[in-house]
């Protein structure tokens, strides 16, 4: 039995500090003008995230567990750092957006972002089904509120309603699947469940299979994998654009982290029984996401289907496992690349759509003449997302491709190549608008605010740098002991 006095609570230092800072920012909001602009709260939120990232990096480097309920290891540290940096970049682009939309209460918005981050961090470190679900719901409820934050906007309200109804259903599926495991084993510890699974699989095959499928459906919704992706386009289109960026990157990666933690620990001993299921879902997600994206004219819906397709690429290493370490390394590397590429692109999407007042791809007409730096940066991000050779996205996909071939899933690697080629067409559709279309006569030069310029420059610099030296990051990731606590 775990006693509170015996637990090493220092392992939760980053989470405790982040929760305290989120509450402080929430309190400061109440102590200041309700409807006034509060850019200092955005800066405080970024500082809070950076403080938390430093604590993740430099405290409890040896790792440890709190009674097999909460675990700190290389896996949790890497994904927490990716999530924290991603949210900091999202808040950076949010500061410009919120200044343009005075109907959004900034203090509440930033506090919800921090609480959503806290939920994601709890998910990543969970070693128990209850802790996992608590973290999931903190993230989910905060995300529901953020999606509907423009409460006087019909699309935003619709997005929030759809998200909460379908998200609640997905959570119910996850909880129902967990109940089967608890009923069979009498424990919520994923380590103890893993030890019991081989014996139970013989006598209760269908019950465990149902548990697996219910949880797969629930988490498939969270990562917007086909056929659980239907919510994404409408929610992405209706949400405030920075929230769309948050959902497409941070929320998705948190979902992938817990899929790895849950399925690679809990169902590790029956891996051969479920690997092909992930392979089929990965293939469908890549195909449907990319082909439907071809038909999109709204840039946010296009990025929604692009995000669905990217989820398919991230699912490939889960299906085609050479070793667990290789799988975690490939997903972490591509996850880093995905954060930089996508958030850089969303920063420019916010700039262009807010300037034009519309979200069609035509809003990018003549961007090369109106803001050359932004046009070049957007091209780099899109080309990298498409996986063109010698880009960061190319190296991420190449590592996954060779991993699939090494695991004997050549057909899945072929699907990756074909769908990546398809993605060139809709990404280059935006590039064509920027460089090969004349701006409207009323269009003027775009003035780039400092916040967006900083985010774009950071994402661009790191994306370009890592494209030339990807081995440095890969060597570091491959040297980690990913789930040493298990």
Q: What is the pTM of this model?
A: 0.91
In three-state form (DSSP H/G/I as H, E/B as E, the rest C), the secondary structure along the chain is CCCCCCCCHHHHHHHHHHHHHHHHHHHHHHCCCCCCCCHHHHHHHHHHHHHHHHHHHHCCCCCEEECCCEEECHHHHHHHHHHHHHHHHHHHHHHHHHHHCCCCCHHHHHHHHHHHHHHHHHHHHECEHHHHHHHHHHHHHHHHHHHCCCCCCHHHHHHHHHHHHHHHHHHHHHHHHHHHHHHHHCCCEHHHHHHHHHHHHHHCHHHHHHHHHHHHHHHHHHCCCCCCCCHHHHHHHHCCHHHHHHHHHHHHHHHHHHHHHHHHHHCHHHHHHHHHHHHHHHHHHHHHHHHHHCCCCEHHHHHHHHHHHHHHHHHHHHHCCCCHHHHHHHHHHHHHHHHHHHHHHHHHHHHHHHHHCCCEHHHHCCHHHHCHHHHHHHHHHHHHHHCCCCCHHHHHHHHHHHHHHHCCCHHHHHHHHHHHHHHHHHHHHHHHHHHHCCCCCCCCCCCCCHHHHHHHHHHHHHHHHHHHCHHHHHHHHHCCCCCCCC
Query: 331 near 317, Cβ under 8 Å?
Result: yes
Q: For position 447, what pLDDT does the model report? A: 84
What pLDDT sits at residue 103?
Answer: 66
Give CA–CA dist 384/333, Å, rounded: 14
Segments of the chain scoring below 70 in pLDDT:
1-7, 33-39, 103-104, 322, 443, 483-486
CA distance 385 to 366: 22
Who's near 281: CB < 8 A, 6+ residues apart? 216, 220, 225, 226, 312, 315, 319
* Phi, psi (rounded to 5 degrees) for 126: -70, 135
Measured CA distances, 18 to 22, 32, 303, 321, 371 (Å): 6, 21, 30, 35, 37
Contact 176, 223 (CB under 8 A): no
- pLDDT number for residue 464: 92
Rounded Cα distance between 471 and 333, Å, is 10
Structure tokens at 42: 């955005």
Residue 322: the pLDDT is 66
> Phi and psi of 72, rounded to 5°?
-120, 115
Which residues, at least 6 apart from 350, have a Cβ–Cβ distance to it below 8 Å? 93, 96, 97, 241, 242, 452
Query: What pLDDT score was predicted for residue 27?
Result: 86
Sign of the torsion angle spanned by Cα atoms 283, 289, 293, 295: positive
Residue tagged 């850019």 (tokens): 39
């Amino acid at each position: 039995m775990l006693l509170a006095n015996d637990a090493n609570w220092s392992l939760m230092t980053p989470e405790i500090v982040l929760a305290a800072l989120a509450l402080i920012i929430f309190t400061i909001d109440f102590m200041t003008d309700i409807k006034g602009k509060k850019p200092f709260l955005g800066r405080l939120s970024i500082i809070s995230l950076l403080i938390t990232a430093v604590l993740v990096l430099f405290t409890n480097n040896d790792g440890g567990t709190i009674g097999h309920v909460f675990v700190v290891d290389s896996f949790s540290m890497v994904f927490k750092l990716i999530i924290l940096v991603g949210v900091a970049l999202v808040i950076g682009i949010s500061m410009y957006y919120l200044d343009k939309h005075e109907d959004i209460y900034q203090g509440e918005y930033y506090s919800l972002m921090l609480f959503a981050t806290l939920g994601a961090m709890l998910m990543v470190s969970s070693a128990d089904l209850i802790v996992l679900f608590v973290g999931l719901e903190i993230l989910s409820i905060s995300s529901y509120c953020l999606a509907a934050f423009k409460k006087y906007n019909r699309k935003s309200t619709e997005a929030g309603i759809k998200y909460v109804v379908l998200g609640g259903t997905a959570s119910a599926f996850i909880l129902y699947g967990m109940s089967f495991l608890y009923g069979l084993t009498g424990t919520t510890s994923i380590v103890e469940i893993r030890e019991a699974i081989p014996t139970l699989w013989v006598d209760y095959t269908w019950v465990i299979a149902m548990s697996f499928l219910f949880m797969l459906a629930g988490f498939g919704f969270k990562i917007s994998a086909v056929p659980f992706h239907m919510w994404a386009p409408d929610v992405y289109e209706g949400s405030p654009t920075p929230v769309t960026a948050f959902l497409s990157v941070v929320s998705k990666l948190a979902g992938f982290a817990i899929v790895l933690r849950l399925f690679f620990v809990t169902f590790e001993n029956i891996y051969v029984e479920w690997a092909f299921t992930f392979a089929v879902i990965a293939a469908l997600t890549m195909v449907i996401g990319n082909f439907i994206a071809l038909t999109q004219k709204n840039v946010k819906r296009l990025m929604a289907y692009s995000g669905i397709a990217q989820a398919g690429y991230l699912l490939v290493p889960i299906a085609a496992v050479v070793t667990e370490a290789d799988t975690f390394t490939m997903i972490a590397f591509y996850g880093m690349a995905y954060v930089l590429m996508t958030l850089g692109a969303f920063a420019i999407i916010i700039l262009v759509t807010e300037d034009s007042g519309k979200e069609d791809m035509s809003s990018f007409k003549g961007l090369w003449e109106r803001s050359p730096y932004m046009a070049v940066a957007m091209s780099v991000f899109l080309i990298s997302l498409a996986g063109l050779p010698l880009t960061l996205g190319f190296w991420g996909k190449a590592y996954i491709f060779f991993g699939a071939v090494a695991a004997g899933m050549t057909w899945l690697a072929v699907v990756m190549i074909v769908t990546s080629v398809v993605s060139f067409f809709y990404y280059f559709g935006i590039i064509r608008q920027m460089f090969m279309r004349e701006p409207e006569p009323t269009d003027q030069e775009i003035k780039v605010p400092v916040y967006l310029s900083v985010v774009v420059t950071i994402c661009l610099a790191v994306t370009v740098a890592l494209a030339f030296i990807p081995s440095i990051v890969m060597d570091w990731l491959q040297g980690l002991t990913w789930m040493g606590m298990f």
